[in-house]
Amino acid sequence: MKNYIKKSIAVSFTTTLLLLGVSCKNNETNKDKTQVKELTANDTKYRVLSQDFKDYWYAGEAEITSYKLEQARYGEIRIGHAALIYVTEDFLPNIQVKANNQNPENISVLKLNATKKFNTGIYPYSIMQSTFYPISKEQHALKITSSIQEWCGQTYTQLNNKADFEITSHSYFEGEADQNYHLEKTVLENELWTQLRLDPKSLPTGDLQIIPSLEFVSLKHIELKPYLANLTLNANSYTINYPELNRKLSINFNENAPFEILDWTESFKSGTEILTTTATKLVTIKSPYWNKKSSKDSVLRKTLKLK
């Protein structure tokens, strides 16, 4: 009888855990799923998630925001558009990819796909960075990727958060080619864009060693490593200033939850002078975009003012 009770409890517990997951793919919603890893983690800090947070981020939709982009490149300002796509999804911590099925080992992440498209003369640029940031557990992003395509070629960089930061990069440029190396863990600029959406007050401030965005490192062909930066937080603005790189990034956001990003500026040397990239918000929508595949759904691009 005791064994039967133990088995029943185990089955009930396992069933409860399985029901806690949510998948962007199957569009299921469960507002308490972020507690999955808390059941087995030890000595770990966890965020307290409000009901409003769960209602917003676990509604089975992504938040998509379009921006007018003025991108500094080759000493000129290029006109284009950017988009920030935030969505929660289940993540497999060991192989570090999106989970297709519910599993008690899944980690709930807030994923950001940040895209840019602009032209330089005759040829176009397409840039995408992806950040997978744990929601309930206070730690660094689990994975970050960056890809840049233009008519000369393409580059790809991936950072995996394991015992340390494992870096893999591929480039068509001489001297960069194929690389694999490790870095000690420190603050990542890419992860700050997702951390901000959870709680701006949790953002780091002061003088710190920061790994710049993978996009900036690739475009400027500088070493991927930490650089000293000064970080400041005001009511609705967050600024990262890199003296060594002569670069400053400022992100302006709504000071009320869910802390939408309204615009950002990034100043750095382009060509022979300091130019400023700007991105200004156009439209925000909530949508299960993975289900919007038919031709009739292209009207949503007009809604977002994307060409």
The pTM assigned to this predicted structure is: 0.84
Q: What is the pLDDT along the chain (307 residues), one digit of tens a residue?
A: 444 444 444 444 444 444 334 444 444 434 344 333 333 334 457 888 889 999 999 999 999 999 999 999 999 999 999 999 999 999 888 788 888 888 888 889 999 999 999 999 999 999 999 999 999 888 999 999 999 999 999 999 999 999 999 999 999 988 888 999 999 999 999 999 999 999 999 999 999 999 999 999 999 999 999 999 999 999 899 999 999 999 999 999 999 999 999 999 999 999 899 999 999 999 999 999 999 999 999 999 999 999 8
Rounded CA-CA distance 81/305 in Å is 9
Across-strand partners of 68? 81, 280
Instruction: Determine the pLDDT at residue 98.
Output: 82
pLDDT digits (tens, 9 = 90+) for 111-137: 999 999 999 999 999 999 999 999 988
Please give the residue range of the domain that contains residue 290.
2-303
What's the total number of domains in the chain?
1
Lookup result for tokens 């209602």: 55
